[in-house]
Amino acid sequence: MPRVLVSDKLSPTAVQIFKDRGVEVDYLPDLGKDKDKLLEIIHLYDGLAIRSATKVTEKLIAAATKLKVVGRAGIGVDNVDIPAASRKGIIVMNTPFGNSITTAEHAIALMFAVARELPAANASTHAGKWEKNRFMGVEITSKTLGIIGCGNIGAIVAQRAVGLKMHVVAFDPFLSEDRASELGVEKVELEELFGRADFITLHTPMTDKTRGIINAEAIAKMKDGVRIINCARGGLVVEADLIDGLKSGKVAGAGIDVFETEPATDSPLFGMDNVVCTPHLGASTSEAQENVALQVAEQMSDYLIKGAVSNAINMPSITAEEAPRLKPFVKLAEVLGAFVGQVTEDPIKEVEILFDGVTAMMNTKALISAALAGLIRPQMADVNMVSAPIMVKERGIIVAEVKRDKSGVFDGYIKLTVKTEKQTRSIAGTCFSDHKPRFIQIKGINLDAEVGQHMLYTTNNDAPGIIGLLGTVCGENGVNIANFQLGRNRPGGDAIALLYLDKPFPESVLEKVRAHQSIQSAKPLQFDIGAF
């Protein structure tokens, strides 16, 4: 039974989800604050469920010898060392949708608060003043709202703003014209958004491209009297430049929920009459906190029990529905990669993975990850589907994906082609109704071969006596052949043999096989068939 540690506060309902799904769970909600104790016991767990208090550092990851998944109840994963987790093969999940409505509503609330100067008016009235003429706000209706980042949260803001009779323009490189039309927004470039918007709200992740996207240069391009709302990430706005804009009057007001440094206990923004500040409350509703807790428990349980991957930062998603159908082909892709990885000695330059027929309609990102894991595992034993794509990228290997409709007798198959400086190797395989991977083509030679735990792969010119040669060498040296498969491209052409063995092929006997002039190459193979 998989075991999960909950080191931050989650609701009892979320903890019960783990138990109901067959996961052993230890609920220690204050452990995230005790780094030493967490470091001491993390090796006991397959999963770690956190909020923001627990810091999943490289040191903690190194000690987590069993850990398979980290689940963050919330969208931000700044407290997780994702590169370190990926290299260790640990899946990192978040819950990007559980607090979407809450965050979107907070942005709308800040927009109203800034437009009508509500906090300052509230403070004035509570102080016994009646400064009706001091607080002259602006209407929302008919104003132009510029949304930077029109993903899940940005789209909800857009829908609400359209309902408020605002004209909405959006900048998002991934927003299609069809989706923009569906939302009732106008897709524009960033500079046009700056020049047209009366209000600007940010809903984009923090990346190298978006860091400081609102700076002095951007503010200079905006309309006089623009109002800026940020409920996304503090680093998206250069605070010093925003303060200059507020003081000059270029920016009429700002609603800030996130800061460059958090917790923000001291900031030049504090005390400015035209700034509404909140302490990162975007996701702070009881509904959102419960939703993300339930969601992370469901996601982690589905992965640990069923192999389903949802909302992973560093791994292709695999739904619970597709996992049973995909699993045999994940194993097939891994086996194909393992075959080529074991017979290839030179540095790999390029990898092409062809998906034919039904495999082209599957979750090919997961299949590619599995193939790459199998391919480089002979050189890196601890690699898996999470870490493999990163390791391949770090080594400058080019990976290409090709999809095509059914082109042969098989409903679907996967073909892996690997190029080095000296040669190109290829292998293809499929899964039949028994869900077991099978080789259907090696080196361009068609065959039908099962996958065995211990095998020997040989290449030679098609000539009489090869079977006898292999049988004699094995027999004289006490190597039992359980089964074998042969193939050739044409009479007298290239030929291959696959020998199935009871145990690994002895190195001393391998040298005798290679010494024979009829054998071009001989490679021992080993596959993990426990999951077949």
Q: Which residues are catalytic?
A: 233, 262, 280
Distance CA 339, CA 343 (A): 7
Tokens coding 266: 């001291």
Distance of CA 98 to the CA centre of its chain: 18
Contact between 110 and 255 under an 8 Å Cβ cutoff? The reply is yes
| DSSP 3-state of 285 | coil
**Residue linked to tokens 């702070």:** 284
Q: Nearest Cα to 275, choosing from 248, 241, 252, 298?
A: 252
Q: How far apart are CA 332 and CA 138, in angstroms?
A: 62
CB atoms within 10 A of CB 243: 17
Residue 115's SS3 state is helix
**Antiparallel, parallel or unpaired: β 454-461 and 494-501:** antiparallel
Separation between Cα atoms, residue 74 and residue 245, nearest integer Å: 32
> What is the rounded CA–CA span in Å between residue 171 and residue 181?
13
Q: Would you say 256 and 269 are in contact if contact means Cβ atoms under 8 Å apart?
A: yes
Encoded amino acid at 59, one letter: K
DSSP 31: G
| Contact in structure between 414 and 430 (CB atoms under 8 Å) | yes
C-alpha count within 13 angstroms, C-beta hemisphere, residue 147? 32
Residues 6+ apart with CB under 8 A from 507: none
Rounded to 10 degrees, the C-alpha dihedral 460/466/469/473 comes to: 50
Pairing of strands 91-93, 144-148: unpaired
- What secondary structure letter does DSSP report for 230? E
Cβ pair 92, 313 in contact under 8 A: yes
Indicate the Cα dihedral angle 328, 331, 337, 341, nearest 10°: -150
Give the Cα separation of 210 and 207 in Å (integer): 5
Distance, CA of 124 to CA of 119 (rounded, Å): 9
- Element at 125 (helix H, strand E): helix 118-126
Nearest-angstrom CA–CA distance, 91 and 374: 18
- Cβ atoms 222, 251 nearer than 8 A: yes
DSSP letter at 214 equals B
